[in-house]
Amino acid sequence: TQLLEQSPQFLSIQEGENLTVYCNSSSVFSSLQWYRQEPGEGPVLLVTVVTGGEVKKLKRLTFQFGDARKDSSLHITAAQTGDTGLYLCAGGFKTIFGAGTRLFVKA
């Protein structure tokens, strides 16, 4: 059974700090997706990574796919209060989701 484990489960930081969250698996995935979900809303796609070793940037967010395509990371530079939310990684044709990292950025 393919599983995606995310860490940390919860992160509370001050505005302006940098952070990294992780998505790990013992299985190889053809691609991984990252979503952000805000309270009362459905998840919104941030990025899809496909190639091992790939790095994608979305403004202050940097996503990396591991060389072996078993893990991925999301790095946020100079976090803002608007980054607050639940960050989810997904794979397996969007049938497998990690439990998420709940990020709270304090002003």
Partner 1 sequence: KAGVTQTPRYLIKTRGQQVTLSCSPISGHRSVSWYQQTPGQGLQFLFEYFSETQRNKGNFPGRFSGRQFSNSRSEMNVSTLELGDSALYLCASSGMGGSNTEAFFGQGTRLTVV
**Which of 14, 82, 95, 107 lies at the binding interface for partner 1 (CB under 8 A)?**
95
**In the complex with partner 1, which residue's Cβ is closer, 18 or 57?**
57
HSE (CB half, 13 Å, CA atoms) of 50?
Answer: 2
Binding part of the chain for partner 1, among 11-19, 38-46, 60-68, 75-83 by CB under 8 A, reads 38-46
Nearer to partner 1, 16 or 94 (CB): 94
Burial class (CB in 10 A: 0-12, 13-18, 19+), 39: exposed
Q: Which residues would be at the binding site for partner 1 (CB under 8 A)?
A: 30-31, 40-45, 48, 50, 88, 90-100
